[in-house]
Structure 1
Amino acid sequence: MPDRIVVKIGSSSLTSEEGGLNKERIGYFARELAFQHAEGHAVMLVTSGAVAAGFRRIGYVSRPKLVHEKQAAAAVGQALLMQAYQEELSKYGIVAAQILLTRADFSNRRRIQNALMTIEELLKQRIIPIINENDTVATDELVLKFGDNDNLSALVAALTKASKLVIITDMDGLYTEDPRINPEAVKIGRVEQISDDILKLAGGAGSSVGTGGMRSKIEAARVAMRGGVGAFIGKVTNEGDLAAAVNGVGSGTYFDTKLHSLSMKKQWLGFHSLPQGRIAVDDGAAHALLAGGKSLLPAGVVNSTGDFHPGDVVEVVDRHGGTLGRGVVNYAAWQLQAAAGLGSEEVARRVEVTRIEVIHRDEWISLK
């Protein structure tokens, strides 16, 4: 049965260490994508490489560090990148479409709905959407930038309700230690839950032409899994490797999930919204939210920070600061400070609120 597949390719797979596009590699990936397309799958590509492709052409001797220099290199490199993909995919009768997104697009529910409608129409017309971050307008501020295209690929996979996310890297999966240092390191074939121990196994640094390391890829897999999408992280270097990755026998690590895909509303709340405050809760409230399917009541609130208002999104954390999830709050910050720790009847006497629940369970998503 045809599936929806999101493939993420990083800068290091497309360019040389010195910068500039490797046309042979792009040709290889185009063949792999074309095979999946011919199998009837709906293929989406999330690609890095604009900055790496453009900085040499613009005259920089090495990958730029300053934001405006990166943006200038991306402006040149994005055109080169799309031209290369278009030329190679056209050999198989495939049309490619460019989609540039920013974090702000995902944060705005109307804009991301429009982006989804565009992607849906392209897939209907058997066109491969090629998606990249719009580096020429994005900033390095955390709230506005994806950080790397690993995260973007996970968000796209969840948004489009893909069946699989394939993140291509130069490592053949996740190991108990760095196999380049310790030859006794053992590869982890399948992961069903991304725990803190799993995250600790991942290093942080990427290559000199990219931004993402293994940790960012695992964090992307966690976002995909939470959105009901299974993920693969590993090598795709030889003929047929992408098909093997899609079919469950690839050279890498598979991240399985039993969760169902999320509604657009839940995706926006969990992955795209910008929290306006933080609420810390006690152990009982944390259990009720995560395991009991309950709403958050004022009695379970320990404290709160931020200047939020009814209808804003807030992050909920446990006593130790660990993130539990996000929800739409029914209280203003000052109201919650007055109501924290009190029973519902006492709150009703002291504070005038529309709903007694701080966060109703229908306006909540767990991120644990």
Structure 2
Amino acid sequence: MSQTIVVKIGTSSLTQAKTGLLALSTIATLVETLTNLRLNDVRVILVSSGAVGVGCGRLDIKERPRTTALKQAVAAVGQGRLMRIYDDFFSSLGQPIAQILLTRQELIQRTAYVNIYNTFQSLLSLGVIPIVNENDTVAVEELKVGDNDTLSALVASLVEADYLFLLTDVDRLYSADPRYNPQAQPVERVVTKEELEQLQAQVSEGGSQWGTGGMVTKLAAARIATSAGVKTVITNGQTPGSINRILAGEMCGTHFEAQPRGESARKRWIAYSLVPVGQLYLDEGAVKAIRDRGKSLLAAGITRVEGEFQTSEAVAVCDSEGKEIARGLVNYSSSEIRQIQGKQSQEIPQILGYANTETVIHRNNMVSMVA
């Protein structure tokens, strides 16, 4: 079976640092690389930043917009121009492309999520390279993914990709920003979740002027992708040809090893696409039952409820100290759970006046968030 790869390229790689104008030679090399991969039966999805940066260049705006309204307007100018350039380059090589604009709203709704999956599969089977970006023009703050590193990881998880390539403005991950810290050490390979957590604690959030990313978001993306069974590589966006060398086995860039893909597609959706709208706090016994034995959550183990939510919405399941140990879809609303928390399951019908289910969150609708 052919490999599926997701390639994310950032604004800092697509544009010239001083002017914000497009780096056409980099785009040409990227297009040629991805087209050749497609010709060799590799299924390719490109997640591309750059709409706001290109819009700023087109409108001669010297710095990134600070207000949401201006950013959305600039993105509307830049997105069409960016896609036209991609289409010109890919068409010169006979490679069809498609534009897919997403917000978290499509990822939250299960039916839409499945439809997006089917659309990707249909496009890939037709030999098309989908080009994905967040729909900055219409996304409201609470429904934004926030950065294209995270978006690319969510897409890689959705399509069950083999590789996620995060193309950036440095050749690999370092222990600190090498542009400012000469003592920064290169990181070539990250094998375990524990190693990744240590790196996340070490690396600072410094991004470039034109991008919203930085190594913090790339590490967060790597955590999502590797947890979904996707090998992840951070490498230099100015030399896209390195993708070929990496697929051939060369160890350039920083490689994050995939973790076993044990969770179902539905549980990956719960874990990474949904945004918790409330928190349930548990006693020690319930924590152990969920964390150590994979049990469903019963009302008896709940000590506190925070937030307002309805049935079937996502909540964070926390221990007494507030650490999220699991995430799941509730069978009761927040007001109902407040009435039944700490009670035995057989008491629920008498308290609420009707019989529902004995579980507040069934184990099939809950995923562990413990590394």
> Structure 2-normalised TM-score?
0.91
* In the alignment, structure 1 residue 246 sits paired with structure 2 residue 234: no
Aligned counterpart, 1:121:
122
Backbone CA RMSD of aligned residues: 2.2
Aligned counterpart, 1:159:
158
2:14/2:50 contact within 8 Å kept: yes
Of 356, 359, 362, which aligns to 1:360? 362
Deviations 1:313-358 (A, max 9, x none): 2211222222222112123323322333344455566455412222
Q: CA distance change for structure 1 residues 14 and 146 in 2, over 3 Å: closer, same or farther?
A: same
Aligned counterpart, 2:192:
192
Q: CA distance change for structure 1 residues 110 and 310 in 2, over 3 Å: closer, same or farther?
A: closer
Aligned counterpart, 1:63:
64
Aligned counterpart, 1:177:
176
- Whole-Å Cα distance in 2 between the matches of residues 94 and 262 of structure 1? 34
> Structure 1-normalised TM-score?
0.92
Q: Which moves more between the two structures, 252-261 or 298-307?
A: 252-261
SS of the equivalent of 2:294 reads: coil
Aligned counterpart, 2:312:
311
Q: Which amino acid aligns with 1:72?
A: A
Aligned counterpart, 2:15:
15
Aligned counterpart, 1:50:
51
1:173/1:189 contact within 8 Å kept: no
- Whole-Å Cα distance in 1 between the matches of residues 100 and 156 of structure 2? 14
1:296/1:358 contact within 8 Å kept: yes
2:26/2:239 contact within 8 Å kept: no
Q: Which amino acid aligns with 1:272?
A: S
- Whole-Å Cα distance in 1 between the matches of residues 286 and 322 of structure 2? 14
Q: CA distance change for structure 1 residues 336 and 167 in 2, over 3 Å: closer, same or farther?
A: same
Mapping 1:334-353, distance limit 5 Å: 334-345=335-346, 350-351=351-352, 352-353=354-355
Q: CA distance change for structure 1 residues 75 and 309 in 2, over 3 Å: closer, same or farther?
A: closer
* In the alignment, structure 1 residue 145 sits paired with structure 2 residue 144: yes
* In the alignment, structure 1 residue 40 sits paired with structure 2 residue 30: no
SS of the equivalent of 2:364 reads: strand
2:174/2:184 contact within 8 Å kept: no
How many residues align? The count is 366
1:330/1:353 contact within 8 Å kept: no
- Whole-Å Cα distance in 1 between the matches of residues 125 and 190 of structure 2? 33
* In the alignment, structure 1 residue 90 sits paired with structure 2 residue 95: no
Deviations 1:167-186 (A, max 9, x none): 11123333333444143625
Q: Which amino acid aligns with 1:284?
A: G
Q: Which amino acid aligns with 2:128?
A: I
Q: Percent identity, aligned pairs only?
A: 39
Cα displacement (A) at 1:285:
2.2
Aligned counterpart, 2:221:
220
Q: CA distance change for structure 1 residues 226 and 239 in 2, over 3 Å: closer, same or farther?
A: closer
SS of the equivalent of 1:221 reads: helix
Q: What 5-or-longer segments of structure 2 have no aligned partner? A: none
Deviations 1:47-80 (A, max 9, x none): 0001101112124233222222212221121122
1:202/1:214 contact within 8 Å kept: yes
Q: Which moves more between the two structures, 176-185 or 289-298?
A: 176-185
- Whole-Å Cα distance in 2 between the matches of residues 289 and 326 of structure 1? 11
Cα displacement (A) at 1:261:
6.5
1:161/1:261 contact within 8 Å kept: no
- Whole-Å Cα distance in 2 between the matches of residues 274 and 21 of structure 1? 34
1:236/1:242 contact within 8 Å kept: no
1:54/1:75 contact within 8 Å kept: yes
- Whole-Å Cα distance in 2 between the matches of residues 308 and 65 of structure 1? 32
Deviations 1:225-250 (A, max 9, x none): 22222211222433630112334424
